[in-house]
Amino acid sequence: MLSYRHAFHAGNHPDVLKHSVLALIVAALKRKDTPFCAIDTHAGAGRYDLYSREARKTGEYEHGITRILERTDAPELLEPYLGVITALNEGWGGGQRFYPGSPRVVRALMRPDDRLVVCELHTTDQPLLAREFGRDRQVTVHAGDGFALLKGLVPPLIRRGLVLMDPSYEVKSDYEAVVAALADAYKRWATGVYVIWYPVLARAAVNLLQKRVVETGIRRILQAELTVMADDAEGGLKGSGLLIINPPFALDRDLKKLLPWLHTVLDETGEGRAGVRWLVGE
């Protein structure tokens, strides 16, 4: 049985990176009038209470979203992301109690004709996810392994959209499974935007993941990575990154502006780094 629960980690620095970039991608999809479909293979609970025992136990959000919200110089590129957080916390006197998971970020930015499909396997988080979106006609909730379910979800009826694959990597096989899922889905839906999130725990694992993704032969792969400590620091989550296939126009330019600011705010050690680069071009 998987033990990972994101409630202990909600709002941490990897969440800030993942969700701020996800919000930019959704905003870009909305530039066209035609609707889109978003698929989240590992959706978690949907939203998280930062007053909860789990969140308070680790306090990871204090080194993530709290540091962002304390700033008065946030760049315009963060507006879609921060707007979701503000709306989610309306009625709490301006306090920061709730943090949106990936599906809540997407849902908050959707238009009436857009659709969201979410998958979750964990027996604790899946009922919470179903409760979060159970009565929402624009959201379909699936219980089960997101990688396996993805085979029947692409291509979606709405042929524009994105797939977010963000497993916990609690089991090492996730590194292979995410590449296999990408390759299989891409064969059937080559025009979709694919976002693979990964943790930076050991540089060797990241390098191997990148190598395997490149070896699929897929073109247009953009990498965005943010670390808050040196690669050779002992233990702990050093940072995270995203591999984005078919990124929206000018996303690389926007991320080259956004990530240095995020790095300045989130890297308390001064030993991390932020980078955006094309692993594979056109």
Q: How many CB atoms lie within 10 A of CB 32?
A: 9
- Judge whether 73 counts as a catalytic residue: no
Out of 166, 174, 254, 267, the active site residue is 166
**DSSP output for 51-94:** TSHHHHHH-GGGGTHHHHHT-S---GGGHHHHHHHHHHTTTSTT
Three state DSSP letters for 82-139: HHHHHHHCCCCCCCCCEEECHHHHHHHHCCCCCEEEEEECCCCHHHHHHHHHCCCCCE
3-state SS, residue 237 = coil
Crossing angle of helices 125-133 and 102-109, in 10° steps, is 10
8 vs 27: CA distance, rounded Å: 28
3-state SS, residue 278 = strand
Element housing 207 (H / E)? helix 203-214
Taking CA atoms, 131 is separated from 44, 100, 158, 220, in Å, by: 12, 14, 25, 37
- 9 DSSP 8-state letter: T
200 vs 184: CA distance, rounded Å: 25
Q: How many CB atoms lie within 10 A of CB 60?
A: 20
Residues marked as catalytic: 166
